[in-house]
């Protein structure tokens, strides 16, 4: 198992999900991403967990947060409208078809797991979503 191969595959997969202007595996705060550089996607490794059973290969679970930023330059339009479409695109990219999303056969599954945190831009034009992803890898 190559951690870098897994994290790179996830990033490639979700980066292509929507028309992101900026994508990076180095997290930036939304205040540091100018409106013209959005929509933006950032991937942050959060944690790894292993389950070991005698006479079986270990099962790894990687936890990643995807940060999605959307800025609505039109003050009459809620930035949540653009953010919702971006979150839908990321969800669709990770949604299983007939089987789990395996990132091209590299992992057992990669899927959204947990609560998606959002700030829809109620007090401004900036919207943010943090999407938790779990990846299971059999070593």
- Structure token pair of residue 16: 């292509």
What angle in degrees, to the nearest 10, is found between the helix axes of 79-94 and 3-15?
130
Q: For 120-137, how does the pLDDT look when each residue is reduced to its tens digit (9 = 90+)? A: 877 689 999 999 999 999
pLDDT at 98 over 80: no
Confirm whether pTM is higher than 0.85. Answer: yes
Domain boundaries, the chain: 3-138
Domain 3-138: give its CATH code.
3.30.70.1700
pLDDT tens digit sequence for 14-27:
999 999 999 999 99
Going by pLDDT thresholds of 50, 70 and 90, the confidence category of residue 53 is: confident
Task: Kindly tell me if the per-residue pLDDT of 90 is higher than 90.
Answer: yes
């Amino acid at each position: 198992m190559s951690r870098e191969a897994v994290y790179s595959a996830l990033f490639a997969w979700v980066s292509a999900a929507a028309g992101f202007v900026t994508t990076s595996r180095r997290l930036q705060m939304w205040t540091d991403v100018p409106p013209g550089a959005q929509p933006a996607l950032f991937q942050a490794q959060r944690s790894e967990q292993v389950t070991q059973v005698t006479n079986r290969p270990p099962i790894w679970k990687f936890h990643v947060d995807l940060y999605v930023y959307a800025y609505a330059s039109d003050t009459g339009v809620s930035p949540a409208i653009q953010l919702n479409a971006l979150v839908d695109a990321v969800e669709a990219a990770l949604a299983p078809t007939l089987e789990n999303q395996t990132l091209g056969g590299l992992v057992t599954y990669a899927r959204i797991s947990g609560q998606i945190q959002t700030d829809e831009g109620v007090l401004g034009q900036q919207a943010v979503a943090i999407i938790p992803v779990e990846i299971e890898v059999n070593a």
